[in-house]
Structure 1
Amino acid sequence: MTAQELRSLIAAGLACDHLEVDGDGRHWEAVVVSADFEGKRLIQRHQRVYATLGERMRTDEIHALSIKALTPAEWAAARA
């Protein structure tokens, strides 16, 4: 899997204001900014991202995924 493929999978299942994906083909890091995260705890945010990937998270296709899941306000504050 490529970074662009992973990015496309996440973007297809979740409305993202900002999305960054980087990794080596099995180990990934993602910064996901979405208004869908408003009012959700961190675990719920991660579950929402995992849901966009479906079975790929249960197979060896994606071995590890580190997620920073932020609301647009949190992302703006982090960049300030």
Structure 2
Amino acid sequence: MFDAREIERLIVAGLDCDFLQIEGDDGVHFSGIVVSKAFEGKPKVRQHQAVYATLGKLMGNEIHALQLNTYTPAQWAEFQKELG
């Protein structure tokens, strides 16, 4: 069983994040939002790979699934604006 806060700690240690939120209550399935300048100019698949890289061998093992929504800071600001 894994904790969402530990996943956040590992992501922040390997990726400069403007915003990060990971949730999950069963210890193996998680979802999250990651906002990083490192995503600028990268397609979604590369953004997700950058996040997965921070978790290394935990992905697919201790962490069975991590559903991600990734944004650049500009995309995140626009998303927040749309939400009102």
Q: Helix, strand or coil for the counterpart of 1:29?
A: strand
Unaligned residue ranges in structure 2 (runs of 5+): none
For 1:53, the equivalent position in structure 2 comes to 55
Deviations 1:9-64 (A, max 9, x none): 111000000000100211100100000000000000000000000000131x0011
Q: TM-score, normalised by structure 1?
A: 0.96
Q: How does 1:15-34 map to 2 (within 5 A)?
A: 15-24=16-25, 25-34=27-36
After the TM superposition, which parts of structure 1 deviate over 3 Å for at least 4 consecutive aligned residues?
A: none
The letter for the 2-side match of 1:31 is I
The letter for the 2-side match of 1:34 is S
Aligned residues: 79
Quote how far apart the aligned CAs of 1:78 are: 0.3
Identity of counterpart residues, as a percentage?
51
RMSD over aligned CA atoms reads 0.7
Unaligned residue ranges in structure 1 (runs of 5+): none
